[in-house]
Amino acid sequence: MKQLSKLKCFSLSSIKPTIYYDELIVPLLRQIINTLLYNSVNISLPSNNDIQRSFIERKYQQVGSYADDNLMKGEAQCHIYSLPYQFDNFHYLNNSFQGGRFEKVKCIKMTDIRPFEHEFFKIISQSFPFLQHLSVKNDEQQKNKQHLSNTLIIFPHLRSLHLILAHIDYVEDFLMKKTTHLPCLLYLKIKYEQLLIITNNFTNNSIEFNFSQLKVLSIVEPFVRPENFHSYFPQLQILYS
């Protein structure tokens, strides 16, 4: 290929993903003398207001929406619902959620490839005051752990908590009383390794944890109970492993 010595301007746009950038595009750019390369990625997604306006224009007056602006996955999701809302489950909630008031919602499944910070869980507790069942799926560690003890979060009605697919940071955040208060927690699904870490091999004081009301403990792998296991779970009736 000849050098493009007289080329003054070069623009290339692609509306679809490509796997040939390094193979085809970069060699082409190298033929251009005195090139200034601007890698500009402009991704425009509709905002919540845009989405709601589109429904209002179609005569749907009472509409709420929750748009996922997570561009790291190269995809977008949107949850649109009529008002007043009628659902009692909220699935795939992530960091794009900005709050609201959902008193009927009893079950939430949270998942993201970005970390959930402690302050975000506070938003969840305030937005879903009667939440009973919560599942957290996130293997990214928290970035603002130094602020955990500054705000105590309360989930007054939470009965069931699934943390088996959660990073240890979220296990600590939810199960340590100094960060989160769970007065009605009855069911916990967790890995035994996670329990060992947060209890320091069952040597920390048992009163530091939200275990006192637990009736059912589900651990995914076989394990040998330590001698003081019962002191951490005094109300335990069923143990799955």
Say which CATH number the domain at 188 has. Answer: 3.80.10
Instruction: Count Cβ atoms below 10 Å from residue 181 Cβ, excluding itself.
Output: 15
pLDDT at 192: 96
In the prediction, which pLDDT does 162 show? 98
- 229 falls within a domain: yes
Domain annotation covers residue 41: no
72: in domain: no
Any domain includes 160: yes
pLDDT at 233: 97
Residue 37 placed within a domain: no
What CA–CA distance (Å, rounded) separates 200 from 194? 10
Domain range spanning residue 155?
87-240
d(CA 74, CA 113): 12
CB 136, CB 110: distance < 8 Å: yes
Asked, for residue 18, whether it belongs to a domain, the answer is no
Q: Dihedrals φ, ψ of 39, to 5°?
A: -95, 90
pLDDT at residue 38, as a whole number: 47
Alpha helices in the chain (DSSP H): 26-30, 48-56, 118-127, 168-175, 192-199, 229-232
Instruction: Look at residue 125 and tell me if it is in a domain.
Output: yes
The per-residue pLDDT for 92 is: 86
pLDDT of residue 36: 47
- Give residue 29's pLDDT: 58
pLDDT at residue 5, as a whole number: 60
Pair type for strands 153-154 and 107-111: unpaired
Looking at residue 12, its pLDDT comes to 57
Count CA atoms closer than 13 A to 55's CA, side-chain side: 16
- Report, as ranges of residue numbers, the positions in the chain whose pLDDT lies below 50: 33-38, 40-43
pLDDT at 54: 62
The pLDDT assigned to 41 comes to 45
For residue 222, tell me if it sits in a domain.
yes
Q: How many domains does the chain have?
A: 1
